[in-house]
Every structure is written in structure tokens, then in C-alpha cells.
Amino acid sequence: MAVGLGLSIGTVNTVSALADDRAAKSPPGRRRPAERAPARTRRTTLTFDSTGLARVGMIPRHGRAITDFADIGQRTAASARVGHRRLTPADLVATVADCLIIEARRDPRAVTAGITLAHPVGYTEHHIGELRAALDAIGLDRVALVAEPVAAAAWLEAERGPLMPGLALVYDLGGSGLDVTLVRVGAGCPVNPVVGVPVRSGDFGGRAFGSLVAARAGHGSHAASLSGAVRGATADELRTDHVRASLELVYRCLRMADVTMADVDCVLVVGGAARPGEVPRVLSGELARPVIVAPDPERTIADGAALLAQRAASGEPEPPQAGKRVGAHRRSPAAEPEGRRSRATRALLFSRRTRRRLTRAATAVGMSAGGVALAFALPADAVIAGLAVR
């Protein structure tokens, strides 16, 4: 039975989820909560003991927990020094992934699971290269990388598919901010399913809403007053206004992709801060499009990443949505283990027809200004080698 492990390392919380053949083959929209693959949520914190052993999700009574490192694209992302080593934000993210994998493998099903790590869609090639190098450095070279909205689209396809070709707007409302991305879904998706330019803002999300509540309660209010300010109709009104104000980012994303809301087939709402019912309710009323939200939107990206990992582990062809990040930024040819040919090495292998033609000639000699070039036709299963004589 093929199993996939999906990891979503957010600024506030980290989620790991498993997907197996039963989850992948369940009828769309008919999975009962009891059949859902298990998921675990941890605070995105790291602590190191005196031996350098890392632990995720702990807040030590004495000492310091490392936080705010998960988004390596931010200049303010935290780094750390452990012993004589300086760990970059990418190193810290890789360390969290390693801890989650070790924890997941306590389940016998996950020992040979495929693994996919979701990352923010706004990462540049440089950021992805940093993350890829950090993972490779600790032996996680088989962990695939995928953009978060692409993983979310994989969940959507599994839950509501098969989908007609179209556009889905992924509204990712997390603890530290809001990401709005247009993604192509359905059959015939291009290799890069992201349309236009994703839009991100830190003015919305869990932390921003907390600041809004604090401002409403007053800077000098006691904790009890602050708690009372987020109850009942007051909290609903504040959250409704908060979500309605975020629609400017949605329209900006549409303008940058040169489309309108009429071109969007559905709105997929994900992220831990999207749990309150006001979020999908406001989006549905204001955007007038079908709004899809999972029972626990915080785990949607991890579930989608797990599905992609499960498909890869089962040998199924990867869907087009996974093509942008999954499989990219592999290890360099020098780092490949013996018995595995790198992409560059495979490029040196000629087709069978060409090899048959070359075996008919023993030696081809050509003259050039720099000297004599010799090309030898080797056996049909060999690599063609060239020798230049100066």
C-alpha cells in the first residue's frame, strides 16, 4: 500500500498528514471524517537540548524557543546558533521537516512513505534552492517540494474531482498573512498551473485580527476586557469587516492575471485563520462564486501535499499541478548515488535507432583547425564518448 506524507510548515503552526490508497480512491465528496488520514498539528517552534537534539512545538520553561523562521522569503526570518553551527532559516525549516518525518515513521505505514513539503508560493528560485540545499544536507534529498496553492488544488481535485478545466482562486488565510493565488485545475493543466502573480499581505490573518481586536478593546484594557471584546456580535462584525477589506487583494490578483471573477470557477479557502464561518460566508456573498472549505482548513495544504506524495510513491503519473515544484531542484549530478543516472547523464544516451546506425561504423575521423577529433561507436547499451586530439 502506497503512503504519502505531506508537510506544511507555517509561520504559526506546522501540520503533517498521511494519505494512503484508501484516501486516494475514496469517492469524491463522500469521505466520512473517520476515514480521513491522520494529521498532527504543532506550533512552529524549535528548541535544542544540550546535545543539539531538536524538538518541534515545545515552549521551554527555561531557555528560548526559536520562532518566526518558517518563511525564508522574509528578511526578518530568524536564524539560530547551535553549538558552533549557524543555522539559516532554511536550515531550521529542514530541521522541522526532519523531526516531523522521524515522528511520522513511528507509524509502520509511513516508513516507506513518499514525502512532499509545501512552501509559500511567493518563493523565488533562489529561496527554493536554499531550501533544497538545506534538505539535501541532512539527507532529505527525496523530499519533493511543491507550492502551497498547488498542494491545495490537489486536495480539491481529490475531494471534488474530477474537475472541469478552469480556474480556482486559492484564498489562504493563515496566522501571519493572506495569500491569494489563481490556479488552473482540471484536465489539460499546464506544467505551471499558477496564473498571473500571487498576492500576499501581512495586514490580514490571525495576528492582524488579534491586533484589530486589541485596538478595539483599548491598549490599556485588562485581559478580561480584551477577551470580552471578541465575543458575540462584536467579534462577528470585526471579522466580517476584516475579510471584506481583504477583497482588495483578491481583485488585485485578478487584475494582474487579466481575468475577472466571472472567469473563476470556485474559491478554495484554506489556512488556520479561515476556520470561523464568517470567512467563507463573506467571500461567498461578495464574490458570488462557489466557496469550498474543508472541515479543518488548516490541514488542507498538508493533505494535498500528502496526496501528491502518495501518487508519486504508488508510481502514478504526477498530475500537471505538481509539475512546477515537485521534481525540480534535485540534487546535483555529483551528489547522485551510484546506480542512478542524473538528468545530464541520461541526455548523453542516444536513441536505440541512432545506436544501431553508429555501430555500423567502426571509427569516424574528422579534421578541424585545432587537431583531430575521434568518435568511437561503443556497444548499444553504452554512452557515446568523444576524444579530441590536440
Burial of 348 (0-12, 13-18, 19+ CB in 10 A): exposed
DSSP code per residue over 26-76: SPTT---GGGSPPEEEEES-EEE-TT--EEES---SSS--B-S-S-TTSTT
Mean pLDDT on 267-271: 97
Q: Write out the H or E segment, with its range, that includes residue 283.
A: helix 278-287
Total-model pTM:
0.76
**Cβ–Cβ < 8 Å for 162, 314:** no
Whether the bond between 162 and the residue before it is cis, its omega within 30 degrees of 0, is yes
The CATH number given to 3-204+246-335 is 3.30.420.40
Looking at residue 99, its pLDDT comes to 95
Q: Parse the chain into domains and list their residue ranges.
A: 3-204+246-335, 348-389
Beta strand spans in 202-270 (E): 266-270
pLDDT in tens, 162-208: 999 999 999 999 999 999 999 999 988 887 899 999 999 999 998 88
Name, in order, each residue with C-beta under 8 angstroms of 86's C-beta and a sequence gap of 6 or more: 79, 80
The neighbour count for residue 140, using CB atoms within 10 Å, is 16
Query: What pLDDT band is residue 327 in, cutting at 50, 70 and 90?
Result: very low
DSSP reduced 3-state for 326: coil
Instruction: Specify the length of the chain in residues.
Output: 390
Q: What's the gap between Cα 216 and its chain centre?
A: 35
Q: How far is CA 98 from CA 128, 172, 212, 378, in A?
A: 17, 25, 36, 44
- The percentage of the chain sitting over the pLDDT mark of 90, rounded to a whole number, equals 54
